[in-house]
Amino acid sequence: MKKLILLLFLFFGWVLTGKAQQSSAVMDSIQGKVTFLTSDNIYLNFDQTDRIQVGDTLYRVQNQSKIAVLVLYRKSSVSVIAKPIPGNTFKVGDPILALVPKPIEKKEEKPSPAPTPVPRKSTAKVAPKVEKKEETLRGTVAVNNYSSLTEGDFSSRSVARISAHADDINGSGLSFRTYARYRQNRIDRNAQQDVFGKFFLYEFALDYNVEDQFTITAGRFINRNMVSVGAMDGLKLEKNGRIGFGGVVAGFRPDPVSFGLNTDLLQFGAYAGLYHNKSHSAFTSVGFMEQTNKRLTDRRYLYMQHQSNLSEKVSLFASSEMDLYQKDSSGLGGMSTRLSNLFLTANYRFSSAFNVSASYDVRRNFILYESFAEELDRLLRDDPYRTGLRLRANYRLSKYVRWGVAMSRRLQSDKKNEYSQISSTLQFTKIPGIQGNLMLMGSLNKNAFLSYQSFLVRYSKDFWKGRITLAPYGRYLNYSYFNTETPDTWQVYAGMDTNLDITNRLSLRLLYDYSTRNSTITHRFNINLTQRF
């Protein structure tokens, strides 16, 4: 089995390095930005979404390259909800790009222009134009609070985020970026309070553009071309050319407990990629990473990534990780191959009204042999393969009606933690008489312990020229338990989601919902205040 997986992995990597071509001349780009994040979804706003389709891949631009980071699965007239591609991190305000086919322009015969009279020469002095210097610093500050109250038991989680970047400061070629987050949890177990907080600094780095295509980065940074590595304290050298890119990194992993600097966790690596088209939106890359703990090998692995558009209708994305080092419980370590992560996704657009997408992933626990030394025996024994399959189809029934179906299946080699879901969504936009958008969604879900059905109704409407959005919703769930004496139960949610654009750069989001289950009532409150600068 292992040999078969290895052969498939090598064959897959060889196939993907072929020349997947796409003409950039037939594609347009639409700029959007991240507005909200949850544990599963990324919410984005675009100026318009008419040409963006459910199942499309969304991109992040890094060093003049387009990197696939999201897959769209729901949209309205100006906003979309997307699933992140594994290995990517986001923050509110991040710019995101959608690539869409250019509309076919109809040629019209232009009438001959009327003769233009010759203006008289003016003797008045024209004041010289003063060029307005654009602001160098850009960023976002967001404060969030998530609270719930259940039978007198109050819990609260507050999160503050700041992200900022300054590009080419005063034309010096020097740029700066930072991203930090503070989280505080408060748990009130019937008046016995427990409050704790933690600060995370993900990025605090300087980039220096030595030449147009050569960059030196120092500080704490996340390498967008090796996102699976995460944050690191150190140095990066990167060269970006016409046909490809490459770089080296060296530094330290953050401490897993304090998230501060830990010089015992040295790591270093290199990566390179080849572009397949002129717009750099299609490429194949490979990277190598060595991670240590007190100079002993913690993990050594190979990373591969590929993204391309085989045509105007077909897009592909794939990423994988293969461990190259293994250590047994007796302490003996050496060269070994072990596939720890493989993710494939494809989208096919049959027409402007109908598209399908599919994704498949295989995962195993990644093991840090020195950091997890005390638990190594258990980790080696309990190391199952987890596989997932997702299929989705979307069809535009009319200009204002869309219908979608989806299926997902999660399996595990030891038969534990298996899960399946089938869902369907019907969306109406610009409803006659009342305007606004209406979404109906139903799903059937099943795992090893229970099955449940979920039904959701959500209506949203903009007011005050789009500055206020109100979205009341309701949800019903019915639970059936296996092999237990627990009776079947139901749960009802009802709530209101409100978004207010106070200014062009300041927005406020308020959410309240009421739920009841077995006569237990829960009130949930979410508040989000975001300031962009």
Query: Would you say residue 450 has pLDDT above 80?
Result: yes
pLDDT band at 131 (very low <50, low <70, confident <90, very high): very low
For the whole model, what pTM was predicted?
Answer: 0.70
Q: How many residues does the chain have?
A: 533
Q: How far is CA 209 from CA 122, 275, 509, in A?
A: 46, 21, 38
> Residue 145 pLDDT > 70, yes or no?
yes
Q: Hey, what domains does the chain have and what are their CATH numbers? A: 28-100 (2.40.10.230), 211-383 (no CATH)
Q: What is the mean pLDDT of the chain?
A: 82
Mean pLDDT of the region 187-208: 77
Indicate the pLDDT class of residue 103, thresholds 50, 70 and 90: low
422 Cβ neighbours under 8 A, 6+ residues apart? 405, 406, 407, 443, 444
Tell me how far CA of residue 275 lies from CA of 19, 64, 66, 282, in angstroms.
9, 11, 10, 6
Q: How confident is the model at residue 109 (pLDDT cuts 50, 70, 90)?
A: very low
- pLDDT tens across 207-234, in order? 999 877 899 999 999 887 777 788 899 9
Instruction: Read off the pLDDT band of 15 (50, 70, 90).
Output: very low
Higher-confidence residue of 145 and 33: namely 145
Residue written as tokens 């997947």?
Answer: 20
At residue 308 the predicted structure's pLDDT band, cuts being 50, 70 and 90, is: confident
Place of tokens 């494939």: 344
The percentage of residues in the chain with a pLDDT greater than 70, rounded to a whole number, is: 81
Element containing residue 446 per DSSP (H, E): strand 437-447
Minimum mean pLDDT among 94-103, 206-215, 331-340, 500-509: which range?
94-103
pLDDT given for residue 68 in this prediction? 72
Tokens 């179906």 sit on residue: 405
Choice between 61 and 39, residue whose per-residue pLDDT is larger: 61
Give 11: exposed, middle or buried? Use CB within 10 Å, 0-12, 13-18, 19+. exposed
Q: Say what percent of the chain tops pLDDT 90.
A: 44
User: 336-355: per-residue pLDDT in tens?
Assistant: 888 889 999 999 999 989 99
